[in-house]
Amino acid sequence: MICFLDNDILLKLSACDLLAEFFHTFKFSTDDARVLPSAKYFIRKRENRLISMYGRAGWRRALDFCGEAAVVEVPDGTEYDLLVGCELIDQGEALLIAATKVSPDSVLATSDKNCLRALAADPALDQVCDRLKRKVICLERAVHNIIGATDFESLKQKIVPVRDCDTALKAAFGSGQRTDRKTATAVLNSYIDDLRSSTKNLLI
């Protein structure tokens, strides 16, 4: 099963050093990963800014991953143009979404909530939504599932130092090393439920 990852979720999982856990938890192989053709150039070009947001180690992990991962092929047809025409869907997200049409069993891993809400709200994109029904993994769902499959104390050591890189992670792990599994899971669930309420049946 192919997993298309946007730059944002890739960087945040890399910051938390959770890429391996992500692929293991969702039963993907790293060979199944697809990133944007521009991903490694984007990450390298914005080195200083991204290091300030995700840490040097996180930045390096994301860059190294992009150097090994296969890239998304630019799809033919009108769907990409239709997606790009939606105001809150940027070109990168449009490319990833359109690419899922070529791989019907694929999933989309993204942290772009505005994109998902725009996708669900546009009647012209109903067929795309139908194809992606329960095939979208947001960051909160990714971390929630990883918590269920991983030693929480070890996981906390990874996330707490970089929790400021994402609003939901900052809220879920706001008590730092005192954060417990129940609290973190409950906060992540609240974010998942909120996103689910405005994105039809997109979330996995």
Per residue in 43-59, pLDDT (tens digit) is 999 999 999 999 999 99
pLDDT computed for residue 87 by the predictor: 87
Give the pTM.
0.96
Distance CA 130, CA 120 (A): 10
Distance CA 12, CA 163 (A): 9
Residues of the chain with pLDDT > 90, as a percent, come to 93
Task: Give residue-wise pLDDT tens across range 147-199.
Answer: 999 999 999 999 999 999 999 999 999 999 999 999 999 999 999 999 999 99
pLDDT computed for residue 76 by the predictor: 72
Beta strands in the chain (DSSP E): 3-5, 33-35, 70-71, 107-109, 136-137
CA atoms within 13 A on the CB side of 39: 32
- Provide the residue type at 17 as one letter: D
Q: How far is CA 81 from CA 37, 84, 91, 97, 203, in A?
A: 18, 5, 9, 11, 23
